[in-house]
Amino acid sequence: MNPAEQGWCQALVSAVGEAHVLSEPVDMGPYCTDWHGRYRGRARAVVRPRTAQELAQVLRVCQREGIPVVPQGGNTGLCGGATPDDSGQSIVLHLGRLNRLRALDPVNGTITVEAGMVLAQVQQHAREAGMLFPLSLAAEGSCTIGGNLATNAGGTGVLRYGNARDLTLGLEVVTATGELWDGLRSLRKDNTGYSLKDLFVGSEGTLGIITAAVLKLYPQPAERSTAFIGVSGLDGAVRLLKYVQQAFGADVTAFEVMSRRSLELVERQASLGAPPITPSPWAVLLEMSCGRAGLNREALEAVLAEAMEEGLVLDAAIAVSLEQAQTLWAWRERIPEAQSAYGGVLKHDISLPISALADFEAETSRLIHERWPSLQTVVFGHAGDGNLHYNVALREPGDFSALAAWRDEVLTLVHDHVVQRQGSFSAEHGIGQSKRQELGARKPAVELALMRGLKAALDPQGILNPGKVLP
């Protein structure tokens, strides 16, 4: 290490201990590459604080020395938001050691956890108290709650419970200048000024670093029903959504859609046996839950039978056990894994008004198939909240470079069609570094100016996660 750098390094060692300041390339490597290997960078050091106070001390050093900081949780993001650039000037601030349970209040329906706690552990703490923390997504065994909040994660329960922002009552945040804001309030109603927590949720560590959060808990459902349903198209799936919501109201917890091609990839790559229903153009995974006895398989069977008579349902399988329900969910959850095994894919994380989903998918897919006959679409997602993972791949496994050459044209076509229908090109994965130029091109000038004004006010030296979100 350059002697001139010894000062800041020793200050960081004083803050967190020598064992938690990594500076050798071999030690820093895993922290400088995102999990799928798309983004790679370099860092001066990786720093791993244990407490919010240690983290604040680190930020004061970085502010004084002008050292950029890249906060990182489970490193499971899809947009490069937790990866440093290749300048080697930043430090990676890894929050994995901030993982304590601070409080759990079943009567108030809240849990207070530190940002480095893995999402599955938050869920487990809630279960042990007889409660439910409903945020659920594929990476829940390795992603951290801080990363979930920083990207305003969605997942499978948004239809009933909302995004991460909706599940957050209070935050503890370290600012760019190393001040510690204690906003860990467990109130449902608090109109004492601006809602600062909502600035930090979804900001991807560019405005401040979340160190702890007060999160909402719900009663554990007394009854669950899971069904795998064949429908004739995405338009039929949307009509079925309204049909079951009319029948069961808020008990409809999840409503996932899967194109036939997405399920064919799972059947080819996974060991799940035959699909649970007769092959249909599209399939729906429906889950319902309620906090009282009364929701039962017979009620769901009756409603689906009525829907079948009206032509909304082609075939259906209803789980009769927890094991069967898990198997039905596995068909949905293994689609990303099956895509990766198949080969390269151009991924688009989009959201639209639910009423626009079918038209968007039909028209966009038609144009892609006409313009690039060697491409196919692999579409699935959370139709209950309007979020589709609209992915494009080669029809036959082959040279990914051919697909990569069309990346920009495909992305432009997809995002143009999304924006034309008042949708969003980032539904739940954030902006990171992969979508920041897209944000610059598609956000209104006034909105961008307001975002830059917030950034300048909260991070005047621009040290927090530079090169992310803002173009």
pLDDT digits (tens, 9 = 90+) for 309-346: 999 999 999 999 999 999 999 999 999 989 888 888 89
- Judge whether 239 and 307 are in contact, CB under 8 Å: no
Both tokens assigned to 425? 């090109």
Q: Rounded mean pLDDT of 236-253?
A: 96
Partners of residue 315 on adjacent β-strands:
230
Instruction: Say what the pLDDT of residue 3 is.
Output: 42
What is residue 207's three-state secondary structure? coil
Architecture of domain 101-219 in this structure: 2-Layer Sandwich (3.30)
What are the domain boundaries of the chain?
A: 3-94, 101-219, 223-336, 343-429
Q: What is the CATH number of domain 343-429?
A: 3.30.70.2740
Q: What is the separation, in whole angstroms, between the first and last Cα of the chain?
A: 32
Instruction: Say what the pLDDT of residue 26 is.
Output: 95
Burial string for 436-465 (b: 16+ CB within 10 Å, else e) reads bebbeebeeeeeeeebeeebeebbeeebbb
Q: What are phi and psi of 156, to 5 degrees?
A: -85, -15
Angstrom distance (rounded) from CA 231 to CA 451:
42
Pick the CATH number of 223-336 from 2.40.50.140, 3.30.70.2190, 3.30.565.10, 2.40.30.20: 3.30.70.2190
How do residues 55-97 score in pLDDT, each as one tens digit?
999 999 999 999 999 999 999 998 999 999 999 999 999 999 9
Percent of the chain exceeding pLDDT 90 equals 88
Instruction: Say what the pLDDT of residue 127 is.
Output: 97
Global confidence as pTM: 0.93
What is residue 199's three-state secondary structure? helix
Does 295 score more than 70 pLDDT?
no
Domain 101-219 and domain 223-336 have a common topology = no
Architecture of domain 3-94 in this structure: 2-Layer Sandwich (3.30)
What is residue 153's three-state secondary structure? coil
CA dist 444 to 200, 393, 412, Å? 21, 31, 17
Instruction: Say what the pLDDT of residue 1 is.
Output: 52
Angstrom distance (rounded) from CA 110 to CA 118:
17
**For the CA atoms of the chain, what is the radius of gyration?**
23
DSSP 395-453: SSS--HHHHHHTHHHHHHHHHHHHHHTT-BS-SSS--TTTSHHHHHHHS-HHHHHHHHH
Beta-carbon contacts of 159 under 8 Å, excluding residues fewer than 6 positions away, are 252, 253, 254, 255, 382, 384, 385
Q: Rounded mean pLDDT of 137-146?
A: 94
Angstrom distance (rounded) from CA 86 to CA 308:
56
Neighbours of 329 (CB within 10 A): 18
Mean per-residue pLDDT over the chain, rounded: 94
Angstrom distance (rounded) from CA 467 to CA 247:
47
Please give the helix or strand (H or E) that residue 315 lies within, else none: strand 315-318
Both tokens assigned to 43? 């860092």
